[in-house]
């Protein structure tokens, strides 16, 4: 069985991976930490983080899908004269 590095070891040894990790949104970092044992390289970190960022954006998009751009039943914004 291949000995995998793990997230902690990667961040200690690879400054570029650490800098990248530190720029991630806290929600994405949390999701990455949940998969820490699956990370054996910087490439794994980038792939997992990218996947989690995509999932987060999909979740956020769903929040706004039901938003009415012009609330209160108006199709067009009203202006006062």
Ordered per-residue pLDDT tens for the chain, 81 residues:
345 679 999 999 999 999 999 999 999 999 999 999 999 999 999 999 999 999 988 887 766 666 556 656 656 555 665
Inter-residue contact 52 to 32 (CB < 8 Å): yes
| pLDDT given at position 60 | 79
Cβ-count burial 5-23 (b if 16+ within 10 Å, e if not): bebeebbeebeebeeebee
**pTM, rounded to two decimals:** 0.70
């Amino acid at each position: 069985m291949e000995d995998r590095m793990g997230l902690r070891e990667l961040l200690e040894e690879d400054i570029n991976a650490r800098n990248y990790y530190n720029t991630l949104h806290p929600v994405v970092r949390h999701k990455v930490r949940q998969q820490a044992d699956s990370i054996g390289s910087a490439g794994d970190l980038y792939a997992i983080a990218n996947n989690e960022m995509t999932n987060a954006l999909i979740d956020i998009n769903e929040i706004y899908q039901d938003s009415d751009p012009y609330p209160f039943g108006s199709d067009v914004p009203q202006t006062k004269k």
